């Protein structure tokens, strides 16, 4: 029997902004703030980095794509690669037969 993984917990933009603000302004260790908020310490650092690099546009999405969406995307990419390969083979075959006709 396989154990089903818990879904990722999502946080609002306001929560993330407040957590980063607490980390930067309180003077308390990030570990202490993370325990208080119920998140991992490295998550605080990741949010702070995203806020610094992206500014106001940080925290827009809903995190990673869902597993079903990711699986479909992978399948489509594989099909796309296969079709490109088939087109290349057909181009080579067409060039070969065009030479034969001359």
DSSP H helical ranges for 26-66:
30-37, 41-54
pLDDT band at 18 (very low <50, low <70, confident <90, very high): very high
Q: How confident is the model over 65-101, as pLDDT tens digits?
A: 667 777 888 899 999 999 999 999 999 999 999 888 7
| Contacts (Cβ under 8 Å, ≥6 apart) of 26 | 33
Class of domain 9-61: mainly alpha
Q: What is the torsional sign of CA 83, 84, 85, 89?
A: positive
Q: Are 20 and 51 in contact (CB under 8 A)?
A: yes
Please give the model's pTM, rounded to 2 decimal places. Answer: 0.54
- Which pLDDT belongs to residue 66? 67
For the chain, give every domain's residue range: 9-61, 64-102
């Amino acid at each position: 029997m396989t154990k089903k993984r818990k879904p990722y917990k999502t946080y609002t933009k306001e929560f993330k902004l407040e957590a980063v603000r607490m980390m930067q302004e309180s003077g308390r260790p990030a570990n202490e703030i993370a325990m208080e908020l119920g998140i991992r310490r490295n998550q605080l650092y990741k949010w702070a980095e995203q806020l610094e690099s992206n500014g106001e546009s940080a925290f827009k999405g809903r995190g990673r794509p869902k597993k079903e969406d990711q699986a479909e995307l992978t399948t489509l990419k594989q099909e796309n690669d296969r079709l490109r390969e088939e087109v290349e083979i057909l181009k080579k075959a067409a060039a070969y037969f065009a030479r034969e006709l001359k």
